[in-house]
Chain A
Amino acid sequence: MGLNIAVLATGVPNDYKALEQAFLLKDKYPESKVAVFSIGACAAGVLREAMYRGADEALASDSFVPGCHDVVLCGCQCAEEIARLTSMTGLSCVVCVRSILSFSSGNIAVECVVENSIEESVLSLPVFASVDSSAVSCRPRNAYCLLRHNRGKSPQVSHAVALNAEQTCNGSVEVKECKYYQASDEGVRTFVKEILRTRVLQSADTAMSLKDSSVVVVGGYGVGSKETFDRLFELAHLLHGNVGATRPAVDAGYATRDRMIGQTGVVVRPELYIAFGVSGHTQHLCGVKECGVMISVNKDAEAPINAFADYSIIGDAREVIDKIITYCQQEL
């Protein structure tokens, strides 16, 4: 008696709560299979961790077909996604699950958090469920899974990422030589003078929509807060551009969904693209594949985006935004 379980991961900590519920089900019904699907820009890390902790396979979102699984679990950040999928498929749905109690004859009993109290309910399979953030934490990595993975017998993760890149980007994202600027006052000032001033003069028309903007300023999860994200609007105003966001930034509530760029959001073709705190996963980059000049501000020099950026400033996005705004006001 096994269940076919899917976990939808978007690359945020709550994914792990959903994973643990899937693993607990598998503990109880060992013949079950747990498949993890990446539906976020930053989910590659979660997918790898899922394999290290006991998932059976990790797959790209394209492979997810609603209706093929008995139970589909996701973190509480995905309540919206659940609503969309259930309305598409007409399947039963439950939110704020704290634990899954049992499974018998096509039904599943769950415990949900409803306005500060716990309620039990029974649902018929297949079911979509978002797991409450008060659910138990995820188990640690497992030595056997680590070794299995280490031996290269579970190439699903890298395969999934490669598949994604192939299907959605057609290999059109090329690796370029990137020029780096320092995050110091002088470095940012030079950057504004050398790069922004020339580019902005060339593309100085104010666009109406994000899709048609010639300058796009994008914030990722790395900007750290909604307050910092909001400063991007000041910069976009100075550069006569518009503001976009990555999936994790939207999930974190920094921006509204209509600003999302990438695989499941808007595709943009700006002449100038500046990314703050964006790591640069395929799912996001395929939404900007035809931009003119790509600039990245990221504290991690190894971030994937730097393989695609023309210019890069290595530093904390929050500090660099302030500096760029200051120098743009002086120099532009």
Chain B
Amino acid sequence: MNYYSDNEALEFYLKHPLLRRIVDMKEKGYGDAVGYDYAPTNFEEAVRGYEQVLELVGDLCAGTVAPNAERVEREKHTLEDGHVVYAPVTSENLKLFRQAGLMGVSLPRRYGGLNFPTMVFTMMQELVCRADAGFGNLWGLQDCASTINSFGSDEQKERYLPMVCAGATMSMDLTEPDAGSDLQNVRLKATYDSTSDQWYLDGVKRFITNGDSDIHLVLARSEEGSADGRGLSLFICEKSCGKVKTRRIEDKMGVQGSPTCEIVFEHAPAELCGSRKMGLIKYVMSLMNGARLGIATQSVAISQAAYSEALAFAKERCQFGKAVIELPPVYDMLGNIKARLDAARSLLYETARNVDMGYQFAELARERTLTPEERAESKLYSKIADALTPLVKGMGSEMVNENVYDAVQVHGGSGYMRDYACERLYRDARVTSIYEGTTQMQVVAAIRYATTGFYSQLVDEYLSFEPSQALASLHARVRAIANVYTEALEVVASFENQEMLDFLARRLYEMAGYCVMSALLLRDANACEELFASSLARFVAIGEAVVAGHSTYIKNFNVELLNKYKQ
């Protein structure tokens, strides 16, 4: 088994036409080929390289990480003298990925990285999370290094990035006991000692994934007396300083491949990353966008795992004299899982491509002044990335929860037992709609793109192609649900009531999600009917029902009903 080559959809998304532009920009004329013997000399070679490495990851995931996933739940991570001792299989997985050279995937070659685009890193993360979502977190946190790469000083890059490429693990230390969704309330104190020209951190962080990492990125209050986000800065702190202790490893529902920790900083020396006061406003936003894409990826990955498990079970399990997959209530569930999986994946890679393009333009802007056309393009790609990231994170994570629910249901009683992987997937999926910003927070981040009509514009653009004969009626139906969504937006706007908007935002968000995802999947089906057409037909059918339901709810909504919700 190989998680990459077994899944044709991945090759389809890897070879998207925009990849050429992303890679051409990222490789900047393929100049690295002179100084680095593993750098590609042209686009084709780069893509061949991505495929080979994806195959390697697909092999490691199917061959080692997936079989280890069950064991990590039994072995557990332990706390020894203020530090985490990984479960033996977690250490084994990490060792394997270090040996395979997969720890600095998107970092520049001058620091020892592979210099792969976000697209490809995302695809790798899908493979890893399909095998073990918890280990996927641990491994995926290498992406924090991109924030150092974007905003750190040259000295910081030269110090920390090679460490990451060599296998140092990372963590992003944001949440505190009293600052979860509301990060403006972060209190961990950063004090500057002018005599030693050194920052020190004091305080507690909670729910930190891989909290005993080698390199911490810490959000801390650097401006004494400040109370909001403008008093926060981002710091880099190393485990080797010995002043960061893990106080507790949380006993949690799922994703047990990565320890979740409560950590204490006891006058820990740290370096300021970027400018003071920009911690939350700029750097954590960048960090969070990467992390949200990561969770969206994890959601798609768990959906894929759940679908594979449920499909295999339904083909094997016989009741009433036949395989249960032949029973309408069962193939109903399986078909829906696959439809939601394919639609979420389509949105995931569309988002990743836009993140890549936005990132490449930002890089270019650091080197030279952009032309007015480039500036406009840069702005558009970043805007699309910013609009799609909360959409794919929220929709993807809610859908994976529906998918694992159905996958367990397909298994019947067996699905409730630990003997089957779907029991773990069910628990693993649950956190995806909670961490890196709950779905409710994604709605907050996304709603302005709904009310300003940006999502509607995107859907229009995605639909602006001549569909094949076979897809013409589906094209019209997607257009129709987009119109229903736009009407609902108008209805909500006509209320002229912020509280009603906040209350209905989730419904508008879901409508936008179904419209955008249907349009994207339609485009993919038009390019490759064989892979996506049947999922598309099912997804549009589900989408129509959801959009119609929300539309009815919104049309019948009023202040009286709003008040009846208040307990």
A and B part of one assembly: yes
> A residues engaging B (CB < 8 A)?
139-148, 150-151, 153
B45 at the interface (CB under 8 A from A): yes
Give Cα A23–Cα B68 distance, bound, in whole angstroms.
25
B102 at the interface (CB under 8 A from A): yes
Kindly list chain A residues whose C-beta atoms are within 8 Å of the C-beta of B40.
147, 150-151
CB distance B49 to A142 under 8 Å? Answer: no
Kindly list chain B residues whose C-beta atoms are within 8 Å of the C-beta of A141.
56, 59, 100
CB distance B38 to A140 under 8 Å? Answer: no
Q: Nearest chain B CB to A290's CB is how many angstroms away?
A: 40
Contacts A141-B100, A147-B114 aside, 9 further interface pairs with beta carbons under 8 A come to: A140-B56, A140-B59, A142-B99, A143-B114, A144-B38, A146-B53, A151-B41, A151-B45, A153-B37
B contact patch SS: helix
Q: Which 9 A-B pairs have the closest CB atoms?
A: A147-B38, A143-B101, A139-B99, A148-B38, A142-B101, A144-B101, A140-B100, A147-B49, A143-B53
Kindly list chain B residues whose C-beta atoms are within 8 Å of the C-beta of A148.
37-38
Kindly list chain A residues whose C-beta atoms are within 8 Å of the C-beta of B48.
150
> B residues engaging A (CB < 8 A)?
33, 37-41, 45, 48-49, 52-53, 56, 59-60, 96, 99-102, 114
Kindly list chain B residues whose C-beta atoms are within 8 Å of the C-beta of A150.
40, 45, 48-49, 52
Kindly list chain A residues whose C-beta atoms are within 8 Å of the C-beta of B37.
148, 151, 153
Residue in contact with B52 in the complex, picked from A139, A140, A146, A153, CB distance below 8 Å: A146
Q: Nearest chain B CB to A139's CB is how many angstroms away?
A: 4
Kindly list chain B residues whose C-beta atoms are within 8 Å of the C-beta of A146.
49, 52-53, 56
Kindly list chain A residues whose C-beta atoms are within 8 Å of the C-beta of B41.
151
10 contacts between A and B (CB under 8 A): A139-B100, A140-B59, A142-B100, A142-B101, A143-B102, A144-B38, A145-B101, A150-B52, A151-B37, A151-B41
In the complex, the number of residue pairs spanning A and B with C-beta atoms less than 8 Å apart equals: 53
Give Cα A143–Cα B49 distance, bound, in whole angstroms.
9
Q: Nearest chain B CB to A154's CB is how many angstroms away?
A: 8
Residue in A142, A147, A150, A153 whose Cβ sees the most chain B Cβ within 10 Å: A147
Q: Nearest chain B CB to A55's CB is how many angstroms away?
A: 14
Give Cα A148–Cα B45 distance, bound, in whole angstroms.
11
Give Cα A235–Cα B561 distance, bound, in whole angstroms.
89
Kindly list chain B residues whose C-beta atoms are within 8 Å of the C-beta of A139.
96, 99-100
Q: Nearest chain A CB to B491's CB is how many angstroms away?
A: 52
Give Cα A142–Cα B48 distance, bound, in whole angstroms.
15
Give Cα A151–Cα B38 distance, bound, in whole angstroms.
7
Q: Nearest chain B CB to A4's CB is how many angstroms away?
A: 21
CB distance A140 to B45 under 8 Å? Answer: no
Give Cα A142–Cα B40 distance, bound, in whole angstroms.
16
CB distance A140 to B99 under 8 Å? Answer: yes
Give Cα A144–Cα B99 distance, bound, in whole angstroms.
10
CB distance A147 to B52 under 8 Å? Answer: yes
Residue in B40, B52, B59, B102 whose Cβ sees the most chain A Cβ within 10 Å: B52
Give Cα A143–Cα B40 distance, bound, in whole angstroms.
13
Given A147-B114, A148-B37, the answer on whether A140 and B96 have CB atoms closer than 8 Å is yes
* Cβ-closest chain B residue relative to A141: B56
Give Cα A143–Cα B107 distance, bound, in whole angstroms.
14
CB distance A143 to B100 under 8 Å? Answer: yes
Give Cα A107–Cα B116 distance, bound, in whole angstroms.
43
Give Cα A279–Cα B558 distance, bound, in whole angstroms.
77
Kindly list chain A residues whose C-beta atoms are within 8 Å of the C-beta of B45.
150-151
Q: Nearest chain B CB to A54's CB is how many angstroms away?
A: 9
Q: Nearest chain B CB to A175's CB is how many angstroms away?
A: 27
Kindly list chain A residues whose C-beta atoms are within 8 Å of the C-beta of B33.
151
* Cβ-closest chain B residue relative to A150: B49
Kindly list chain B residues whose C-beta atoms are within 8 Å of the C-beta of A144.
38, 101, 114
* Cβ-closest chain B residue relative to A53: B99
* Cβ-closest chain A residue relative to B97: A140
Give Cα A140–Cα B61 distance, bound, in whole angstroms.
12
Q: Nearest chain A CB to B128's CB is how many angstroms away?
A: 14
Residue in A140, A141, A143, A144 whose Cβ sees the most chain B Cβ within 10 Å: A143
Kindly list chain B residues whose C-beta atoms are within 8 Å of the C-beta of A151.
33, 37-41, 45, 49
Kindly list chain B residues whose C-beta atoms are within 8 Å of the C-beta of A145.
38, 101
